[in-house]
Amino acid sequence: MDPYAGQKYSLRMASALLKDAIQRRDEHALLHPFRPLFAGREEPERVSVVTDMAEPYLPAEGVYGEMVINAGKTVYLWSKGCDAILDISPFTCMNGIVSEAIYPKISRDHDGIPIRIFYFDGTQSHWSATSASSWSWRERTASGRRPAAGRAGVSARPGALRRNPV
């Protein structure tokens, strides 16, 4: 849903639309050399796609912060065929703590996708790239999980794991 629907244009709105266009242009220019690596893993066109997917867990109208983005992006990545989610948050980050609390429900509602959260405090005392890498490798190679390709025709809404005709 367009946040500006039904409103008259204002200078503030025009400024926001211009900023959005410039940021998207810059993002596309920076990603261009890596496009083949990200084929099939594109970001959603609008943040509203992610916030809509977070709605059953953290409604964007009542909860502010990146925890809404974390929840919605987890569901979005699952819908694109992601094998596992690895969330790295700053130590004692409230957004990370709230996200960690809702990840078990998101996992149950979406094929039991493995979700692991690491807290990083600037040292290697809590996690390491090796442990994150080995965990993601184990999850990627786990037998009997699900197809690695995207889930065309599968609803990303919780509890709706049945395949829908495309």
pLDDT at residue 143, as a whole number: 40
Output the average pLDDT for the chain: 77
Strand partners, 118: 88
Q: How far apart are CA 14 and CA 20, in angstroms?
A: 10
Please report whether residue 34 resides in a domain: no
Please report whether residue 165 resides in a domain: no
Amino acid at 149: A
Average pLDDT over residues 101-130: 82
Judged against a pLDDT cut of 90, whether residue 141 lies above it is answered with no
Please report whether residue 33 resides in a domain: no
Q: Is 62 or 142 the better-scoring residue by pLDDT?
A: 62
Please report whether residue 146 resides in a domain: no
Please report whether residue 23 resides in a domain: no
Query: Do the beta carbons of residue 72 and residue 50 sit within 8 Å?
Result: yes
How many domains in the chain? 1
Q: Tally DSSP H helices, then E strands, for the chain.
A: 5, 2
Q: Among residues 97, 105, 115, which one has the least CA distance to residue 54?
A: 105
Please report whether residue 16 resides in a domain: no
Alpha helix locations (H) across 42-145? 47-54, 66-79, 94-109, 129-141
Residue 73's pLDDT band, with cuts at 50, 70 and 90, is very high
Q: How many CB atoms lie within 10 A of CB 81?
A: 16
Residue 25's pLDDT band, with cuts at 50, 70 and 90, is very high
Domain that holds residue 51: 43-141
Judged against a pLDDT cut of 80, whether residue 104 lies above it is answered with yes
CA-based radius of gyration for the chain: 18
Q: How many CB atoms lie within 10 A of CB 50?
A: 21
pLDDT at residue 161, as a whole number: 36
Judged against a pLDDT cut of 50, whether residue 156 lies above it is answered with no
Please report whether residue 52 resides in a domain: yes
Q: Is 154 or 99 the better-scoring residue by pLDDT?
A: 99
Residue 18's pLDDT band, with cuts at 50, 70 and 90, is very high
From residue 152, how far is each of 75, 76, 136 by CA, in Å? Answer: 14, 12, 23
Please report whether residue 161 resides in a domain: no
From residue 88, how far is each of 15, 48, 69 by CA, in Å? Answer: 33, 23, 14
